[in-house]
Structures are given as C-alpha cells and as structure tokens.
Amino acid sequence: MDYRYLGNSGLKISEITYGNWLTHGSQVENETATQCVHAALDAGITSFDTADVYANTKAEQVLGDALKGQRRESLEIFTKVYWPTGPGGPNDTGLSRKHIMESINGSLTRLGTDYVDLYQAHRYDTETPLEETMQAFADIVRQGKALYIGVSEWTADQLRAGHALSKELGFQLISSQPQYSMLWRVIEDEVVPTSAELGISQIVWSPVAQGVLTGKYKPGAALPEGSRATDDKGGATFIKRFLRDDVLERVQQLTPVAQELDLSLAQLAVAWVLQNKNVAAALIGASRPEQVAENVKASGVVIPAELLERIDSILGDVVERDPAKTAEGAPQSRPV
C-alpha cells in the first residue's frame, strides 16, 4: 500500500481508502462487514470513510465496532455531516451550527472514538450562511473532536470561499470528496485546478463508476442478479446513467489495456484515478473480503502515457466532462 499526503497538510492517508456507503448496515450483514474491514487492515489500508447518513447512522456504528481493538493512532477515520438523520426533524439536516455540533457528538459515540481525523461537509448548504458553517467547524477542531476539515461535491467557487474562511478562522480545509472515474471527469476543468492552487486534495468516490468499469455489465444483456444495478436501496439510482449500450461497449474494449498491465478492469479503473496528482485516495467499498484484496492491487500502479491516451481514445465521447454537473447534482435547498 502506498500513502499520500492529504492536501497541504502533514496527514498521510492510504491511497486506497475503505468506504462503507451502501454496504454496512444495509447491503451486507455486520459479520461480513467486519470481515471486509479486517481485510482492508490486512492489506495495509489505514483510512476509513463513512457518514452519519449511511443507513441512517447504522454504518458508523458498524465501522466503529469493526475497528474495536485497533490502535487508534494507526488509523485515519473520516465521517461527514449534512444529509438528514434521525427522525427527520427541521434541524436534523444541513450545516447549521446546531446540526453540526450535535452530529459530531453522535458520530463520535457511534464510531467509538474521541475524535475523527477528517470531518466533511457532505454537500454545500444553500440555507445556512457559510460563515456559520465554517465557524462551527473551527470550534470542532479547537475542541479536538476533528483534526482536519473537508467537503464533498462542492464547486470550485464554493471551495475557494470555504478555504478563505478556514484560513481566517485558523484551521485547514484540506480535502474534497467528489465522484471521479474514467467515465465521470467533471472535476478536471475547474475543481481540480482550484484545489491544487489552494492545497486541497481529492478523495474520490465511485472510481469504478458504480461497478460499470468492472466489465460485469454487458451491452444487450440482462443485469446480473444481486448487482448494484438491481439494488433498490439506492445503488440502482446512481448507476443507471452509465447503463447505456454505447458506454458498456466501450468499457469492454478496455480489456486489452487492463491485460497489458496485468490488471483486472476494476483494478485498472482504480489505478486510473490515482494517476491524477491531485487525487490523494480512491474510495473502495466491498460486500466480500476478497473484493478488498483485489482492489488494493491498484495501489502503486503506474499507467504509461500511451495507455492513458489509448483509454481516452477508446472511451471517446461517452465520458462526461461538463463541470456544470457538480452544481447541477447538488441540492438546491436543504433536504428533509
């Protein structure tokens, strides 16, 4: 396992980071989830990402239980705040001071730790003054409940404004967590250059495009039973944009490139996002321990320039590059 600095900080994280969105507390049994976490630890993964909204707080509890007995100082634990949790009251959502201060306490209790290494704004809150949000984060850092602050799916302009306030308030905004893959490159034109300028790294989610880049979805074929595309708990919603025959045909054409590097298609996809110097880590999830062992083989892989060009040529116009998609996909009002 290779490790990278997160933003302009001294914090190192594993470039393959284990995330438990859509798995812990919902898709897989707790025993299997624990086995996956232990497989990640065995593979050298030290960084673990979750959020209070995942399975309505259950995922944090499962991860905390799975990490019991581990040396806390050897781990980097990340969680997030924004989406509705609990019974869904008027203040059970967003980035108000009230919700942030209450949410960090709940997350720490469920995770069984006194602090998280990274606390992230899961989206931008259009209904709370940014100054209020950043002041709450500053206080959490001063209280020792979070060491660093990050965000998820913020635009370049939102990153710039948040970074300026963090400097004024005396803490570091060091990370951004966007969707990024061979097929979804909307951060490349604006978010990545702005982040590089500000000293912010990307921790990217869905590097295998919800599983499409594994090659298991074939053009014209029925969806594999038990796959993400058939998951009615949320997975199917996110993957459907990629389930077009023109996309699936191009993905199949990537097989010779993966073979040339002695990688699976999934490993190629994870390795590809790590070629971007602004990416500190690729988030991987797992429903079986063997998946973790396979995905970590992408760590340390260098893809030659000529193969990167071939990948671009193969995928061509099925790649989504429009930077406006970040803002388009964001909530326009606080969710309930």
Q: Which residues are catalytic?
A: 54
Residue with tokens 């061979």: 182
Strands 12-14 and 3-5: antiparallel
The H-or-E segment that residue 139 falls in is helix 130-142
Look at residues 173, 160, 127, 190 and name the one whose alpha carbon lies nearest to residue 325: 190
Contact in structure between 191 and 179 (CB atoms under 8 Å): no
Query: 17 is written with which tokens?
Result: 């980071």
Run of H or E including 308:
helix 305-315
Which among 210, 212, 202 has a CA at the least distance from the CA of 274?
202
**Joined tokens for residue 164:** 């300026």
The HSE-up count of residue 32 (CA atoms within 13 Å, CB side) is 16
Residue 287 identity: S
